[in-house]
Amino acid sequence: MATETSSVRSSSAIWRMLTSDRGAQWTARLLALGIWQVLSDRVVDRLPSPRETIEIMVLEYQNGDLITNILVSYRRVGTTLAIVLVLGILIGSAMGKWMPARYYFKDIVFILVSLPGFIWALLSVMWWGFSDKGPIVVGVLVATPILAINAYQGAQAVPANLRAMSRAYRVPLRREFRSLTLRSMSEYLFAGFRICVLAGFGGVLLTEWFGNSEGIGFRQHYWYDGNNFNGMLGWGIVEILTIVAIDRFLFDPLLRRLRAWRVGGEEWSG
């Protein structure tokens, strides 16, 4: 009797675990791995299996290439995104606030958005060769317009009545920009910056692929030239994991903090 009760308890605990949010997350991950394995075994020729991919990345680690090249790309992407953040917000908010700035930047921003990163990557190799400058400039050129457009839309969404209140109280411009303008724009900036991370990363890696001797993009190209798809895919996974980690450990907590007032605001019911 006691054994039956404990087995019922443990099976319901397993069921609860499987149907929990975390359970759903792990089920999706394991399923993706399973599909990858099946595709590599039976469907797609020359698709490395998860085991083969991990093996080659372990080799990359052992010969010192993994960490070195990751750090090089991270440094470039970090610099790129810092520049994008400043330029994108400045250009976008200027466009939202001042009509002349809107007309000045509008065409430039839309032309930059429509130009593929591929073109910039090739041009940067011609202009700057195998230097740090190329990947960073391409990343900035590809990602800045995206953030600028989002910042522009955000700047237009700043409540006019709060602006008037700030003016009436002679709130210093810097404080108004930080506490009102930037904060009203934050959801737009957030959405824009999320895409910027993808675009900036893509721009940097693409340029590394075409004309660089270091970085994740360079290693991918290296293995492509060596006709080794295990290495190519392995470095692709590094890129994906980085973007997922940024999203999970940086953007998610930040977004929760930004939206704390909304949650708080819903508590009042009277």
Partner 1 sequence: MSVERNGRVRRGSHGVLHAGVYFRNGGVMAQLIARDVKKVFASSGSGRKPVVALNGVSFEASGHTFVSLVGPSGCGKSTFLNIVSGVESVTEGSVELSEKGGEATIGYVFQDPRLLPWKTVMENMLYVQPAHGREKGSREKQREHVRYFLDLVGLGRTESMFPGQLSGGMQQRVGIARALSIRPHVLLMDEPFSHLDAITARGLRTELQRLWDDTDATVLFVTHDVMEAVLLSDKVLLMNSSGSIYADMPIDLARPRTQTDQEVVSTQAEILAVFEQMQKESEQEPEEDRTKAQLGVEAS
Part of the chain binding partner 1 (CB under 8 A), chosen from 17-25, 58-66, 128-136, 260-268: 260-268
Rule CB under 8 A: say whether 99 interacts with partner 1: no
User: Any alpha helices (H) in the chain, and if so which ranges?
Assistant: 2-18, 21-38, 50-62, 65-97, 99-114, 117-128, 133-156, 160-168, 173-176, 182-211, 216-225, 229-246, 252-258, 260-265
Rule CB under 8 A: say whether 133 interacts with partner 1: no
Part of the chain binding partner 1 (CB under 8 A), chosen from 72-80, 100-108, 241-249, 262-270: 262-270
Q: Which of 59, 87, 180, 191 binds partner 1 (CB under 8 A)?
A: 180
Q: Which of 16, 29, 175, 256 binds partner 1 (CB under 8 A)?
A: 175
Within 190-249, which residues bind partner 1 (CB under 8 A)? none
Q: Which of 47, 162, 195, 246 binds partner 1 (CB under 8 A)?
A: 162
Q: Which residues contact 143 (CB under 8 A, 6 or more apart)?
A: 80, 81, 84, 88, 196, 197, 199, 200, 203
Rule CB under 8 A: say whether 167 interacts with partner 1: yes
Q: Which residues contact 231 (CB under 8 A, 6 or more apart)?
A: 56, 60, 219, 220, 222, 223
Is residue 156 within 8 A of residue 64, CB to CB? The reply is no
Inter-axis angle of helices 216-225 and 65-97, to 10 degrees? Answer: 130
Rule CB under 8 A: say whether 101 interacts with partner 1: no
By beta-carbon proximity to partner 1, the closer residue of 27 and 179 is 179
Rule CB under 8 A: say whether 168 interacts with partner 1: yes
By beta-carbon proximity to partner 1, the closer residue of 2 and 168 is 168
Q: Which residues contact 191 (CB under 8 A, 6 or more apart)?
A: 150
Return the sign of the alpha-carbon dihedral for residues 185, 187, 191, 193: positive
To partner 1, the closest distance from the beta carbon of 173 in angstroms equals: 12
Rule CB under 8 A: say whether 268 interacts with partner 1: yes
Which residues make up the interface to partner 1 (CB under 8 A)? Answer: 161-162, 164-172, 175, 179-180, 183, 258, 261-262, 264-268, 270
